Amino acid sequence: MSRSPAVPAASVLTRLRFRHLQLLDILGRTHNLRIAAEQMHMSQPAATKILSDIETMFGAQLFERLPREMRPTDLGVLSLRYASTAVADLGKFVGEFSTLKNGGYGRLAVGAITASTAQVVTEAIKEIQQQRPRLIVRLVEQSSDQLALWLEEKKLDLMVGRLTEARQETLFDVEELSAEPVWVVVGRHHPLLEQASVEIADLGAWPWILYPPATAIRHLFDETFAAAGMLAPVGMVETPSIFSTLELLQATDMISLQPRAAVVKYVRNGLLGQLAVPIRRTMTNYGVITRKNEIPSQPAQEFIALLRASAERLGDHAQPVDERGAATVTAGVTTGGAHSEFR
């Protein structure tokens, strides 16, 4: 499909309208012009005319018209990325403007991995609520790979986690916050808690609850099993949810590798047991991640400062369970055994 030469960039800026960007954003998600027209409350011919105007404006075809879908071309993919960002930015602006106009203190969207949510992020939220009691904080708990996508799409103001792809180094700034020791945990009834000592080889015969494959803690698990020359566990459940994991551990004989910060209070209170397994690998520190070349909002800057202070206060030094290896509390009794070393 041929197109006339694109008009100059300055002219594009004067002719491009929000409805152009909105149509591109919806088409990028639906790949269907009829659905896009319905979501914009217009007829399909009207949506077709808008898309034609956009392609004429840029002098390029942005979508292949296939029988069952609208498939973006390479230039279309580029256009969709910027359209999606522009629509998200405008929506964020309107929301913050409305909140401030009505006497509020704005909004803050934070993404966080489980370990950080358990202590560092929770402490920072508590502090910022005291400083800005009318600030609306939206907290999203997920794995780092998913949070990074949402941060790139500007659905989050910042995230607490790790980079998961090399290309993200060009997109984000990272400030390390804390180390993340891990523990092997089970329900308080698990038979392995009765053994005097537990080795890696003892764990392969039991089903596991694991984080999704793209996460750092899953990589640590896979590397540990591979280094021991072991095959995958006999069965597994994959979930990033600590709440589902806790329920499963207490209801089954499954095992899980979890951030210490996420489970330490459950071990301390006798709801879970810790297996003293000598896993001598470690994960990279997690940190606060923001978009490059973008100044965070004032609430975001204050929250980052609180995260920094919280991590320094808690970090890898908060050890409510005996770290000297004298004992591990489980099921209301004390079981001997050296504490796991994670190096």
Q: Per-residue pLDDT averaged across 239-266, rounded?
A: 92
**Same domain membership, residue 163 and residue 309:** yes
Domain assignment present for 195: yes
Amino acid 325: pLDDT: 32
Domain assignment present for 206: yes
pLDDT tens-place string over residues 192-220: 999 888 888 889 889 999 998 888 899 89
**Same domain membership, residue 325 and residue 232:** yes
Amino acid 334: pLDDT: 29
Instruction: Say yes or no to pLDDT of 256 above 80.
Output: yes
**Same domain membership, residue 192 and residue 325:** yes
Of 25, 57, 83, the one marking the end of a domain is: 83
The tokens for 173 are 């700034």
Residue the block writes with tokens 């027209």? 37
**Same domain membership, residue 211 and residue 301:** no
Rounded to whole angstroms, how far apart are CA atoms 236 and 144? 21
pLDDT tens-place string over residues 69-105: 999 999 999 999 889 888 888 887 887 777 667 656 6
- pTM for the full model? 0.61
**Same domain membership, residue 205 and residue 161:** no
3-class state of residue 82 by DSSP? helix
**Same domain membership, residue 279 and residue 207:** yes
Amino acid 139: pLDDT: 95
Dihedral in degrees, nearest 10, Cα atoms 170, 296, 118, 324? 70
Instruction: Say yes or no to pLDDT of 111 above 90.
Output: yes
Domain assignment present for 1: no
Of 53, 83, 113, the one marking the end of a domain is: 83
Contacts of residue 8, defined as CB under 8 A and 6 or more positions apart, other chains included, come to none
Of 29, 52, 83, the one marking the end of a domain is: 83
Read off the DSSP letter of residue 117. Answer: I
10 close to 68: Cβ distance less than 8 angstroms: no
Instruction: Say yes or no to pLDDT of 336 above 70.
Output: no
Nearest by Cα to 62 from 88, 37, 82, 85: 82
**Same domain membership, residue 268 and residue 208:** yes
**Same domain membership, residue 61 and residue 46:** yes
- Number of domains the chain is built from: 3
Amino acid at 6: A
In this structure, what CATH number is given to the domain that contains residue 292? 3.40.190.10
**Same domain membership, residue 294 and residue 149:** yes
Where b means 16+ CB within 10 Å and e means fewer, 289-326 reads bbbeeeebbebbebbbebbbebbeebbeeeeebeeeee
Amino acid 322: pLDDT: 39
In this structure, what CATH number is given to the domain that contains residue 21? 1.10.10.10
Amino acid 7: pLDDT: 56
In this structure, what CATH number is given to the domain that contains residue 249? 3.40.190.290
Amino acid 331: pLDDT: 30
Extract the runs of DSSP E, i.e. beta strands, from the chain: 63-65, 70-72, 107-112, 136-141, 158-161, 172-178, 182-187, 208-210, 236-238, 255-259, 272-275, 286-291, 328-330, 333-335
Q: Per-residue pLDDT averaged across 255-273, rounded?
A: 93
Instruction: Say yes or no to pLDDT of 320 above 50.
Output: no
Q: Per-residue pLDDT averaged across 271-293, rounded?
A: 87
Domain assignment present for 260: yes
Domain assignment present for 112: yes
Cα–Cα separations (whole angstroms), residue 5 to 20, 103, 113, 176? 19, 49, 47, 48
**Same domain membership, residue 249 and residue 187:** yes
pLDDT tens-place string over residues 143-188: 899 999 999 988 999 999 999 889 999 999 999 998 888 999 999 9
Cα–Cα separations (whole angstroms), residue 179 to 4, 100, 214, 275, 305? 56, 37, 19, 20, 18
Backbone phi and psi for residue 42, each to the nearest 5 degrees, phi listed first = -140, 170
Q: Give the other-Cβ count within 10 Å of 157's Cβ.
A: 23
Cα–Cα separations (whole angstroms), residue 77 to 24, 67, 135, 176, 301? 10, 19, 36, 33, 32
State the chain's mean pLDDT as an integer: 84
Please give the residue range of the domain that contains residue 142: 97-179+285-317
- CA 122 to the chain's CA centroid: 16
Q: What is the three-state SS of 161-213?
A: ECCCCHHHHHCEEEEEEECCCEEEEEECCCHHHHCCCCCHHHHCCCCEEECCC
* Residues written for the chain: 343
Rounded to whole angstroms, how far apart are CA atoms 76 and 202? 53
Domain assignment present for 88: no
Domain assignment present for 92: no
Backbone phi and psi for residue 340, each to the nearest 5 degrees, phi listed first = -60, 145
300 pLDDT band (50/70/90 cuts)? very high
Rounded to whole angstroms, how far apart are CA atoms 117 and 236? 24
**Same domain membership, residue 65 and residue 21:** yes
Amino acid 36: pLDDT: 92
**Same domain membership, residue 173 and residue 291:** yes
Domain assignment present for 89: no
